[in-house]
Amino acid sequence: AQKVTQAQTEISVVEKEDVTLDCVYETRDTTYYLFWYKQPPSGELVFLIRRNSFDEQNEISGRYSWNFQKSTSSFNFTITASQVVDSAVYFCALSEAQGSGTYKYIFGTGTRLKVLA
Amino acid sequence: ETGVTQSPTHLIKTRGQQVTLRCSSQSGHNTVSWYQQALGQGPQFIFQYYREEENGRGNFPPRFSGLQFPNYSSELNVNALELDDSALYLCASSLTGRKSAKNIQYFGAGTRLSVL
């Protein structure tokens, strides 16, 4: 069955520390997509990154970086020099094809990140 | 701002009542997905609409139903509300049919439903 596991329920760091959020997934599909979303207190899920199963290159975007390792079915997310504004719940998600070219997402339970000033 | 708007933002209902939640998708998007997010949990897929038809459904009973309109906006209806239906309901829009769309779903801020 398709599944996403985010074992870290809550992480607290002091501002400027680096922090890594873990994501492990299970899927039967050979082609799939992985995502990270940020959910601030307002509730809206904010898209951060999409990675397809054929692209294992790590990606860096400013203070954010992502490490995709197919061999360990992991897609970890690192925030460098964390800031108070990074405080939110972060979700990892896996796509599952629905037919007609559409997909649903399977989400992990999320990791709440608290960055303390 | 994703351009996905949901209404209302908050709603209080009593057990047994019926509720309708609304979603306007991002301009140009033709697919709408609905998710239920219980407190402290990740979003759970309810169903998806594409070309005005249900195109995939999660593990939710038939009292959860929906519609998609020709302008791609959507409604989620829940009949015979139960206490466990209390949650944040999220709508996501996406574009199906173009490779450049990359299957990315853009979410609204949700409707928080409380069932008493």
pLDDT digits (tens, 9 = 90+) for A58-105: 888 899 999 999 999 999 999 999 999 999 999 999 998 877 788 899
- Among chain A residues, the shortest Cα distance to B55 is held by A98
Find the mean pLDDT for residues B83-110.
88
Q: Are B64 and B81 in contact (CB under 8 A)?
A: no
Reduced to 3 states (helix: H, G, I; strand: E, B; else coil), residue A6 is: coil
| pLDDT surpasses 90 at A42 | no
Q: Which residue has better confidence, A115 or A102?
A: A115
Q: Are strands B44-50 and B31-37 parallel, antiparallel or unpaired?
A: antiparallel
Q: Which of B114, B113, B92 is CA-nearest to residue A45?
A: B92
Of B44, B97, B104, the CB nearest to A101: B97
| pLDDT surpasses 80 at B1 | no
Calculate how close chain A gets to B15, using CA atoms only, in Å.
24
pLDDT digits (tens, 9 = 90+) for A18-27: 999 999 999 9
Triad A38, B50, A24: Cα angle to 5°: 35
Contact yes or no for B56 and A109 at CB 8 A? no
| pLDDT surpasses 80 at B101 | no
Please provide the DSSP assignment of B7-68 as one string: E-SEEEE-TT--EEEEEEPPTT--EEEEEEE-TTS--EEEEEEETTEEEEE-S--TTEEEEE
Amino acid A71: pLDDT: 92
Of B41, B48, B108, the CB nearest to A104: B48
Q: Which of A52, A24, A50 is CA-nearest to residue A37?
A: A50
| pLDDT surpasses 80 at B100 | no
Which residues, including other chains, have CB under 8 Å from residue A10's CB and lie 6 or more apart?
A111, A112, A113, A114
Q: Mean pLDDT, chain B, as a whole number?
A: 93
Q: Are A86 and A113 in contact (CB under 8 A)?
A: yes
pLDDT digits (tens, 9 = 90+) for B34-84: 999 999 999 999 999 998 999 899 999 999 999 999 999 999 999 999 999
| pLDDT surpasses 80 at B102 | no
Query: How many whole angstroms from its chain centre is CA A49?
Result: 8
**How many angstroms separate the CA atoms of A84 and A16, rounded?**
9
**How many angstroms separate the CA atoms of B31 and A17, rounded?**
39
Report the half-sphere exposure of B1 (CA within 13 A, side-chain side).
3
Q: Mean pLDDT, chain A, as a whole number?
A: 93
Of A101, A104, A109, the CB nearest to B42: A109
* Token output for A47: 């898209």
**How many angstroms separate the CA atoms of B73 and B24, rounded?**
5
pLDDT tier, B97 (very low <50, low <70, confident <90, very high otherwise): confident
**Chain A contact present for B39, CB below 8 A:** no
Contact yes or no for B102 and A99 at CB 8 A? no
**Chain B contact present for A79, CB below 8 A:** no
